[in-house]
Amino acid sequence: IQLTQSPSLLSASVGDRVTLSCKGSQNINNYLAWYQQKLGEAPKLLIYKTNSLQTGIPSRFSGSGSGTDYTLTISSLHSEDLATYYCYQYNNGWTFGGGTKLELK
Amino acid sequence: EVQLVESGGGLVQPGRSLKLSCAASGFTFSNYYMAWVRQAPKKGLEWVATISTSGSRTYYPDSVKGRFTISRDNAKSSLYLQMNSLKSEDTATYYCARGLIMYTTDYPAYWGQGTLVTVSS
């Protein structure tokens, strides 16, 4: 399964509601996760099984979707959320999306 | 606290071999699937290999199948990646990662800080 993330670059302001998209080439059956990676750091798991929040992750992060289309939403952008976000599926093999870089407008 | 510490990276010539190690602590290593994920410079993440709890099942993408071998030593709480016939496109930071839920392959939930492998003559 191939994962396509859009947009590849997103400019937003602190306080904005931000939506990132991930589309699979086949049905992912909700086995979809989201990761945050800051510069020079290892990725961090934010959301798993489409909409389950990993322990310690702020509630402003949420996930949704089904079938081939999934979304990560940040309800109110904080400056520390500036990072690259990757989606990941393991319904059929293991695949990461190409990433969405989130930057300050 | 879950800790994963990779080692073994470095500069290696094309066609040569290298073995990476990952020392795990803070959890019962033998209960979790483990994986290697890599990231080429300024590029995205790529899954490289996954191994079952006992080590009896291993999985690879086509890009490394037949060249890379993932293994584990549960007695030593250690994960390994033997990389043979290295190519320039294998240049990347290699991360060791632990699954989220015991006894099943799922999401890489805990990651080490990575070890850099540079393949160049």
Size of interface A-B (CB pairs under 8 A): 53
- The DSSP-derived string for A15-68 is T--EEEEEEESS--TT-EEEEEE-TTS--EEEEETTTEEPTT--TTEEEEEETT
pLDDT of residue A92: 87
Dihedral pair phi/psi, residue A20, rounded to 5°: -115, 145
CA B97 – CA A59 distance, rounded (Å): 24
Q: Stretch A77-95: mean pLDDT, rounded?
A: 94
Question: For B92-103, what is the mean pLDDT?
Answer: 94
Residue B106 has pLDDT above 90, yes or no: no
DSSP B47-89: EEEEE-SSSS-EE--TTTTTTEEEEEETTTTEEEEEE-S--GG
Express each pLDDT in B11-35 by its tens digit: 999 999 999 999 999 999 999 999 9
Question: What does chain B come to in residues?
Answer: 121
How close, in Å, is residue B61 to chain A by CA atoms? Answer: 8
Interface of A with B (CB under 8 A): 31, 33, 35, 37, 42-45, 48, 54, 86, 88, 90, 93-99
CB contact under 8 A, A96 and B45: yes
Q: Nearest 5°: phi and psi at A79? A: -60, -30
Band of residue A55 on the pLDDT scale cut at 50, 70, 90: very high
Per-residue pLDDT averaged across B74-81, rounded?
98
Confidence check: pLDDT of B104 > 90: no
So what's the pLDDT on residue A39? 95
Separation of alpha carbons B18 and B38, rounded Å: 15
* Radius of gyration (C-alpha) of chain A in whole angstroms: 13
Nearest to B44 among A42, A54, A98 (CB): A98
The per-residue pLDDT for range B34-72, each reduced to its tens digit, is: 999 999 999 999 999 999 999 999 999 999 999 999 999
A88 vs B107: CB contact, 8 Å cut-off? yes
Q: Are A90 and B109 inside 8 Å of each other by CB?
A: no
The pair of three-digit structure tokens given for residue A74, joined into one six-digit string? 């940040």
Q: Picking from A55-59, A91-95, B17-21, B77-81, which range would have the lowest pLDDT averaged per residue?
A: A91-95
Q: Identify which of A42, A90, A95 has the shortest CB distance to residue B95.
A: A42
Q: Which residues of B touch A31 (CB under 8 A)?
A: 106
Answer whether A44 sits within 8 Å of B111, measured CB to CB: yes
What's the pLDDT band for B102 if we cut at 50, 70, 90?
A: confident
Per-residue model confidence (pLDDT) at position B103: 87
Using one digit for the tens of pLDDT, what is the confidence trace for A19-54? 999 999 999 999 999 999 999 999 999 999 999 999
Structure tokens at B91: 């240049």
CA A23 to chain centre: 11
